Structure 1
């Protein structure tokens, strides 16, 4: 929970954080299965990024959710670009860098020799981490960055209109299905919190649309950095579509059309209508129509989970989806 009074609420702002994106992307690659929405990007990244750099950037995160202060959002209007990573790291106090490297070494149970070596030489750590981040960025994120920036700008504009029409609280309430504005605080459900303790939100909260946060909300509340929330930008799943001109699921597309095939691909990982609309960047009504068609064709099923309805592929739907899939 992040408490916000009127003054703090007025300081909530948006900013894209390239460095945090690197950390969140590394978390996606750490998963045994990144999920259908990220699978194509993950396969491409593992192919295009140098193997040593890939191993090291993943070593700079841990578990399901730990993104260290190396990637933290900082106070001020501008977030570090990747070219600014060396300066960003040089400006990080030794005690913060040591804290992160110690926690990473503990998370890896002392089993990653590179992390151990960095812990004993902070000058080397700053230089080599910056090099690893730059290499990973070139192969995994740079090819999609301009398209992501367009999505992010559209997403920020949409939230700005919501704030203008309904107020800041309503805008916060619409960030993500797991973010709820109570009138006094943000309740965040199912968050991945990279935090060592609560940080006062005197400077407000930084909201960062992300290509890699979904399905979680990532909360950073580490002093001395500004509290920040990374949420999945609407339509992020379209970012890697152009890498396969023939489409992901040709058999499904021939049967039900490209739009319904995209929805079918998305529910290979069970999801609600709201989650699908957010991830795919299409209207909830359109998602509902596509789901209804898939259910009528016995390719999808629905299961109520509390107040939500979760959709998933049937066995028939899964067989068709992955028949001849690239």
Structure 2
């Protein structure tokens, strides 16, 4: 929970955080299956990033949800130069570096030689972490950054308009299904697996659109940083759309239409209407229409999960959708 009074609410702002994107992207790669919405990007990243740098990034983001604070400390510039990112990392304070490396050492149960070596030599740690991040950035993030920046700017403008029309509280409510505004505090529930105690936000909250946060809303609330929430930017799944083995076959696109085929591809990983609309950057009503058609054709099925309905492909749908053209 992030506590906000009226004055603090007025200081809520948006910014893109290049380093946080690096950490969140590495978390996606740590998953056994990144899911249909990230699979294309994950395949490209593994091909483009040097194996040593890739292993280094995965080592620096142990577990499913832990992004070290060294990746959370640089909001602001949405046109980053990799040399600026490296310069920031080479200037990390000893206290922050020691804290993060100690947490990583515990996460690896004291069994990772590289982390232990970095704990013993902070000068080496700064240089090697900066080099690993730079290589990861070039291969995994940079190819998509201009497209992401366009999405992020549009997303920020849309939320700013919402805040102007309906108020800051309403804007916060629509950020993510797991983020709720109570009138005095922001609660991060549901999609977030980590619970947070009350966190005062004297300087307001930083809201960070992300290409890699979905399906969770990720929270940074550790001092001395301003409390921040990274949420999935609207339309993120379109960033790396490209024909590949997991793309709908041309025949199915001709049969059901490109829009329905995109929705069908997205529910290769089960999802709700709200999740699909956010990921694909289309209206929920449009998604509902496509899902109804797919369900009627027995290409998709719907299952109620508590208060929400989750859609997924049937075996028939999966076979038709990803069939190789003959």
TM-score range, shorter chain: over 0.9
Gaps of 5+ in 2: none
Pair 101,240 (structure 1): closer, same or farther in 2 beyond 3 Å: same
1: CA distance between counterparts of 2:230 and 2:40?
Answer: 22
State how many pairs are aligned. 322
1:308-319 mapped onto 2 (5 Å cutoff): 308-319=308-319
Partner of 2:192: 191
Pair 160,319 (structure 1): closer, same or farther in 2 beyond 3 Å: same
Partner of 1:249: 248
SS at match of 1:63: coil
2: CA distance between counterparts of 1:319 and 1:247?
Answer: 11
Partner of 1:228: 228
1: CA distance between counterparts of 2:311 and 2:211?
Answer: 23
1: CA distance between counterparts of 2:244 and 2:268?
Answer: 21
Alignment check: 8 A CA contact 2:92 2:126 kept = no
1: CA distance between counterparts of 2:194 and 2:70?
Answer: 15
Residue 93 of structure 1, CA deviation = 2.2
Residue 236 of structure 1, CA deviation = 0.3
Residue 192 of structure 1, CA deviation = 5.0
SS at match of 2:207: strand
Q: Which of 255-264 and 133-142 deviates more?
A: 255-264
Q: Taking structure 2 as the reference length, what is the TM-score of the superposition?
A: 0.94
Alignment check: 8 A CA contact 1:8 1:201 kept = yes
Alignment check: 8 A CA contact 1:26 1:61 kept = yes
**Can you list the C-alpha shifts for 1:268-322, whole angstroms capped at 9, x where unaligned?**
1111111100011011111011001100110111111222111111121122223
Partner of 1:86: 86
Q: Which of 185-194 and 262-271 deviates more?
A: 185-194
Partner of 2:279: 279
Instruction: Give 4+ residue runs of structure 1 displaced > 3 Å after superposition.
Output: 77-82, 192-195
1: CA distance between counterparts of 2:84 and 2:268?
Answer: 38
Alignment check: 8 A CA contact 1:301 1:314 kept = yes
SS at match of 1:24: helix
Pair 145,80 (structure 1): closer, same or farther in 2 beyond 3 Å: closer
**Can you list the C-alpha shifts for 1:170-208, whole angstroms capped at 9, x where unaligned?**
00001011111111111111325598x764210110000
Alignment check: 8 A CA contact 2:45 2:139 kept = yes
